[in-house]
A and B are shown apart, each in its own frame.
Chain A
Amino acid sequence: MSDTKAPAGATVASSGRRASGLPIRLEGVTKRYPGQDKPAVDAVTLELPAGRTTMFVGPSGCGKTTLLKMINRLIEPTSGKIFLGDEDVTGQDPDQLRRRIGYVIQAGGLFPHMTVGANVALVPKMLGWEKKKVAGRVDELLDLVGLDPTVYRDRYPRELSGGQQQRVGVARGLAADPPVLLMDEPFGAVDPITRQRLQDEMLRIQDELGKTIVCVTHDFDEAVKLGDKIVVFDVGARVVQHGTPEEVLSDPAEQYVADFVGAGATLKQLTLARVEDVELRQVTTATVGGDSAAAVAVARAAGDDFVVVLDQRGRPVSWPTLAELGRTTSVPGTVDARLPVVGLRSTLNDALDTMLAASQAGVVVMGNRDSLAGVLTIESVMAAIRQARAAVAG
């Protein structure tokens, strides 16, 4: 766990990401169902780069989910080959194969009769890890997905909110440190605000781990936000376009893609701009339990009219104005449930939405592992949008 509290320079360059994943290669993968004249998936050949996130998008029924499930052979391909790295896994024992591939489904798919910890521990146990190692891994993963192990390890799934369940689902998928993670509409079942947070979390985790992720979605905005690469499918899992989000947005391969991307494609360019691309305002911080007067003095000196209060682990909990803080003697630990928060890799659109939802003119930006990266103000967002518009127009 990194304990860096320094908000400055917390930007993580995408190019510098570690890649622990293996590339996936599909060669002429086909699925035919008996009694149907057209194949559900017709001879798909694709290379999915190691350590990158590839998003499968397309209308429902286009075969993208079938293709995903053929990678871990939940659905057996009728013909074609699948390679993990250089290894042909088409003929491997599917159970053994699946233990090396993480799998995350909508709403987490947690087993309701097992505790959160037991759910996460399943695959490592199947792989014969020793008890101590499994326990350590469970805590490590819960921590990674932002759930305090001591609080959540022994709870049952129904005692968790939808978003928390989905986090546990991700932790379970990552449990045995698989090189490849398959996700089937992972954030389809949660509300928009939670979805945005989960997406931010996933970007952060991927920055840290560099897995080869294949993720199915029907939400094009999600694909643009999460994907290093996007594959657009048409019926029969025909690959219409395979490229970076920028390429798909600015240069749709066919009219079909342009339609799917939507008329607002130029505006959607905005979803390409990340919070980390904009200059963040550095603010005065105070730690819960510290001396209020001292904090107010530091903030005055820096020209701030508010401070961000951090808890003992460095996580922001509230942002009182100096007047509010001045009324207390020691910095209060009250958690402001409405504190607007985004991640470094959130899009500017997300940041704007969050500000509007909280009726605030700014938003707290988190860096890695819940540490503070700075504050993003509405002025800098608007400036960035004006810039992007100008670039598109020009």
Chain B
Amino acid sequence: MTAATTGRPGVDTAGAGAAADARDTAAPAKARGGWRALAVQPLLVLLGVAAYLVWRATATLTETEARQLNATALWTSIREHLSLTLVAAVLVLVIAIPLGIALTRGPFRRLSPLVLAVANTGQAAPAIGLFVLLAMWLGFGFRTTVIGLVLYAALPVLRNTMVGIQQVDARLVEAGRGMGMSAAAVLFRVELPLAVPVMLAGVRTALVLLVGTATLATFIDGGGLGVLINTGITLNLNSLLVSGAVLVALLALAVDWLGRVVEHVARPKGL
């Protein structure tokens, strides 16, 4: 899932047809459309959760399945999955955003195409291969999984931070410097706020990527909902398999929705 910059909600273009002189009214209309579109996704998730709960309450399960799918066990799996995602996400933000900013500053700017090329090539590596190799090198478990996830999900954030800052109109930067703002003031008060929408799109892409990739943690003893899928596949227990798959998909949708809400709220007014 790469094309992060284009991953904006499709409704963004819906208001574009408004006449130029209706600008004042066009803006709130766009916002309303945005909220309406944002309402669909959580409904979908809730519907999915409800359907799953109904199925869970009525299905006949084998002993193993029942053990794995009781509330406590299920909750543990979900918590593991979430903690993998969250720890990796925090690390990704802490590493990729400052790095992305640094790569748009003076002397480092020349390095940015190189870094992007390397990162893009790295993205072509299959996640499962990366995980297995890392585990062979660093040992199995939670820590290695997090490292693998961070390596895998850092690119969208890194790239969108760089692109977001680079696409800020150079004349605005010059206007800022021209009126006596320091380089740091221009970065924090002009460049970063204007880069926020693109950066957040990258963060959302990374989050979804993390939830999905964390399912592979099961192969290197990292836990999470992937365990259900994997056990289901190896022991041929369809209920486990489908439970894991459906729950991960719902989790990914929920996280994606949260990301969209944050994007919507944090988007600077006036843009």
Cα distance A74–B183 in the bound complex, in angstroms: 12
Confirm or deny: B42 has a beta carbon within 8 angstroms of a beta carbon on chain A: no
Contact residues of B between 104 and 157, Cβ < 8 Å to A: none
Closest to B268 in A: A113
Task: Tell me the A169-191 residues at the B interface (CB within 8 Å).
Answer: 172-173, 182
Please provide the chain A residues from 98 to 135 with a CB less than 8 Å away from any CB of chain B in the complex. Answer: 98-103, 105-107, 109-115, 122-123, 126
Nearest Cβ in chain B — how far from A334, in angstroms? 19
Query: Are the C-beta atoms of A106 and B270 separated by less than 8 Å?
Result: no
Of A69, A114, A126, A157, the residue contacting B181 (CB under 8 A) is A126
* In the complex, chain B residues whose CB is within 8 Å of the CB of A122: 179, 181
In contact, B270 and A112 (Cβ under 8 angstroms)? yes
A322 at interface by CB-CB < 8 Å: no
Report how many residues on chain A are interfacial, defined by Cβ distance under 8 Å.
32
B174 nearest CB across to chain A (Å): 6
Q: Is the CB of B23 within 8 A of A123?
A: no
A113 and B179: CB pair below 8 A? no
CA distance A172 to B180 in the complex (A): 12
* Contact B180 A99, beta carbon cutoff 8 Å: yes
A97 within 8 A of B: yes
A260 within 8 Å of B (CB atoms): no
Whether A158 and B270, one on each chain, are in contact in the complex, defined by CB atoms closer than 8 angstroms, is yes
Cβ 8 A contact of B172, one of A98, A100, A109? A109
Partner of A103, one of B24, B175, B193: B175
The reply to whether B24 and A159 contact each other, CB–CB distance below 8 Å, is: yes
Is B182 engaged at the interface, CB distance under 8 Å to the other chain? yes
Contact B178 A98 (CB under 8 A): yes
Residues in B with CB closer than 8 Å to A115 are: 270
Inter-chain contact A74/B179, CB cutoff 8 Å: no
Q: A113-B270, A113-B271, A156-B270 are in contact. Are A105 and B171 (CB under 8 A)?
A: yes
B32 at the interface (CB under 8 A from A): no
Q: How far is the CB of B31 from chain A (nearest CB, A)?
A: 13
Contact indicator A109/B174 (Cβ below 8 Å): yes
- Interface residue B86 (Cβ < 8 Å from any Cβ of A): no
User: Interface 1/0s, chain A 142-160, versus B by CB < 8 A?
Assistant: 0000000000000011110
Interface: B177 (CB within 8 A): yes
What band does the interface of chain B fall in when counting residues whose beta carbon is under 8 Å from A?
20 to 34
Complex: A153 Cα to B128 Cα, angstroms: 55
Cβ contact of B180, chosen from A96, A106, A109, A114, cutoff 8 A: A96
Given contacts A109-B172, A113-B194, contact A157 B178 (CB under 8 A): no
Min distance, Cβ B266 to any Cβ of chain A, angstroms: 11
Q: Is the CB of A156 within 8 A of B269?
A: yes
Q: Interface of chain B, helix or strand or loop or mixed?
A: helix
- Asked whether any CB of chain A lies closer than 8 Å to the CB of B190, the reply is yes
Chain B residue at minimal CB-CB distance from A123: B179
Residue A72 is within 8 A (CB to CB) of chain B in the complex: yes
Complexed CA–CA distance, A123 and B178 (Å): 11
Q: Which residues of A contact B185 (CB under 8 A)?
A: 126
Q: How far is the CB of A103 from chain B (nearest CB, A)?
A: 4
Chain B positions within 8 Å of A74 at CB level: 174, 177-178
Question: Distance (Å) between the CB of B186 and the closest chain A CB?
Answer: 10
Contact B179 A106 (CB under 8 A): no
Q: With an 8 A cutoff between CB atoms, is A37 at the interface? A: no
Contact between chains at A72 and B190 (CB < 8 Å)? no
B27 CB–A CB distance under 8 Å: yes
Q: How far is the CA of A54 from the CA of B189 in the complex (A)?
A: 33
Chain A residues contacting B268 (CB-CB under 8 Å) are 112-113
Q: Choose from B23, B171, B194 the contact partner of A106 (Cβ within 8 Å).
A: B171
Structural contact, A98 and B180, CB atoms closer than 8 A: yes
Pick the residue among B23, B27, B178 that contacts A105 (CB under 8 A): B178
- The CA-CA distance from A101 to B269 in the complex, in Å, is 29
- Per the bound structure, the CA–CA distance linking A103 and B27 in Å amounts to 30
Report whether B178 and A103 are in contact in the complex, using a CB–CB cutoff of 8 Å.
yes
A95 to B178, Cβ gap below 8 A?
no
Within residues 222 to 271 of chain B, which ones have a CB less than 8 A from any CB in chain A? 268-271
Contact B171 A114 (CB under 8 A): no
Chain A residue at minimum C-beta to C-beta distance from B190: A111
**B270–A157 CB distance below 8 A:** yes
B269 touches A105 (CB 8 A): no
Min CB distance A112 to B, Å, is 5
- Rounded to whole angstroms, the CA-CA distance of A182 and B190 in the bound complex is 21
Contact of B194 among A97, A100, A109, A112 (CB under 8 A): A112
Q: Which of B27, B171, B172, B178 has the most CB of A within 10 A?
A: B178
Q: How far is the CA of A280 from the CA of B192 in the complex (A)?
A: 53
Chain A interface residues toward B at CB < 8 A = 69, 72, 74, 95-103, 105-107, 109-115, 122-123, 126, 156-159, 172-173, 182
- Top 3 closest A-B pairs, CB basis? A156-B270, A109-B175, A99-B180
Known pairs A95-B180, A98-B178, A113-B268; list 6 more (Cβ under 8 Å).
Answer: A99-B179, A101-B180, A109-B171, A112-B268, A112-B271, A123-B180
* 7 pairs, A vs B, C-beta closer than 8 Å: A99-B180, A102-B179, A105-B174, A111-B189, A113-B268, A159-B23, A159-B24
